[in-house]
Structure 1
Amino acid sequence: MAALTSPLTLDLEPLHLSDEQFEQLCFNNPDLSLEQSAAGVLIVMPPIGGESGNRELELGIDLGLWNRQTQLGKVFSSSTLFRLPNGGRRSPDAAWIELSRWQHLTPDQRRRFPPIAPDFVLELRSPSDRLSLLQDKMQEYLDAGVRLGWLFNPQDQNVEIYRPGQPPEIRPLPSQLSGEEVLPGFELWVERF
């Protein structure tokens, strides 16, 4: 069987999967990485290669080390799926939620797919990703309540910074990034990929 080289999308309209049905679909297919857009499109994500996986983890480590020092929230890996308020079910490459917002969830909500929009998300474009789909995903995050997002684009050697109510800011790499008021004190120097 040929490997997937780009996400497979399935338009489920007029079907609407309940949270329980989507969760069961994910548990019945543990070898698949599934997401669902706010518009109801089911997305099967292909696995990523070694370079993308390494970059993703390195960026997540930087976020995790900052959070370990500040203890201001919780950091999540790309394996975490969030049930967003706008109906999307998404797995950012890394995410962060402010601690009081996380603690507001019940223990059961924390164990399952958390019904919350992260405060911060990070996405890294892999060779199989179409940039327009990732940009749509970043906008979907903002629409759901995400306060800051970074989309790293190694193919174009830039990073897109997403903030609510503003157009994306595109910076060439290398670049110094700030967590602004969302991630106070978090600074990240990003070399060219």
Structure 2
Amino acid sequence: MTALTFPLTVDLKHVHLTDEQFYQLCINNPELTIERSAAGALIFMSPVGGESGNREADFIIDLGNWNRQTQLGKVFSSSTIFRLPNGASRSPDAAWVELSRWQRLTPEQRQKFPPLAPDFVMELRSPTDDLTMLQDKMQEYLDSGVRLGWLFNPQAQQVEIYRLGQAKEVRSLPTELSGEAILPGFTLSVEPFAD
């Protein structure tokens, strides 16, 4: 018997789940972390370990504390799935949506998977994540309208900065990141990741 490797992509070929069917699949299987590609393939993600989960939580806390002070938007965890304009349904490790964009959504849209691309996303590469797949996901976010994204790569002690309409910037750790005009006043000091 062959062991499963994650992420596991299941191409449904001739079966196309509607947004509602995909929503129900996720809600009825809360133990699974599922994303959907623009082509409709289901992507099953593995849970993260303690180190990755702790780093992710620290980043969300920092983003949340900044947002609590500024009240400029809404912060979301990796449990939130966003329906992107290209038809994909993705869940970044952390996300932020500017308040007026969030308020334009109907109560039902806010309750289910929000049909918009966040303004800002963070992804943290875990030991089981394929770097190229994450880089493609970051490009998909930009193509969908995300204005700023950070991809943390502990294995290379780097962070990749994605900006709408600009080339990717790669920085070695330690570094200090700025939320720029998207997250005004937000900074994040990133130390090298422990082995």
Corresponding residue number in structure 1 for 2:7? 7
Quote the RMSD (CA, aligned, Å): 1.5
Q: Which moved more, 1:23-32 or 1:70-79?
A: 23-32
Task: Give the letter aligned to residue 163 of structure 2.
Answer: R
Deviations 1:82-122 (A, max 9, x none): 11111110000000000000000011110111111100000
How far apart, in 1, do the equivalents of 2:4 and 2:62 lie?
29
How far apart, in 1, do the equivalents of 2:40 and 2:20 lie?
15
Corresponding residue number in structure 2 for 1:130? 130
Task: Give the letter aligned to residue 76 of structure 1.
Answer: F
Secondary structure of the equivalent of 1:65? helix
* 1:38–1:140 contact (8 Å) kept in structure 2: no
Deviation at 1:71, TM superposition (A): 0.4
* 1:150–1:162 contact (8 Å) kept in structure 2: yes
Equivalenced residues, count = 193
Q: Are positions 1:85 and 2:85 aligned together?
A: yes
How far apart, in 2, do the equivalents of 1:55 and 1:38 lie?
29
Closer, same or farther in 2 for the Cα pair 1:112/1:2, shift >3 Å?
A: farther
Q: Are positions 1:55 and 2:42 aligned together?
A: no
Deviation at 1:24, TM superposition (A): 1.4
* 1:35–1:43 contact (8 Å) kept in structure 2: yes
Corresponding residue number in structure 2 for 1:182? 182
Q: Tell me, which stretches of 5 or more residues in structure 2 are unaligned?
A: none
Closer, same or farther in 2 for the Cα pair 1:65/1:24, shift >3 Å?
A: same
Deviation at 1:2, TM superposition (A): 9.3
Secondary structure of the equivalent of 1:44? strand
Deviation at 1:177, TM superposition (A): 0.4
Deviations 1:144-190 (A, max 9, x none): 11000000000000000001122211000111100011001111110
Q: How does 1:1-193 map to 2 (within 5 A)?
A: 5-193=5-193
* 1:74–1:96 contact (8 Å) kept in structure 2: yes
Task: Give the letter aligned to residue 178 of structure 2.
Answer: S
How far apart, in 2, do the equivalents of 1:77 and 1:147 lie?
18
Q: Tell me, which stretches of 5 or more residues in structure 1 are unaligned?
A: none
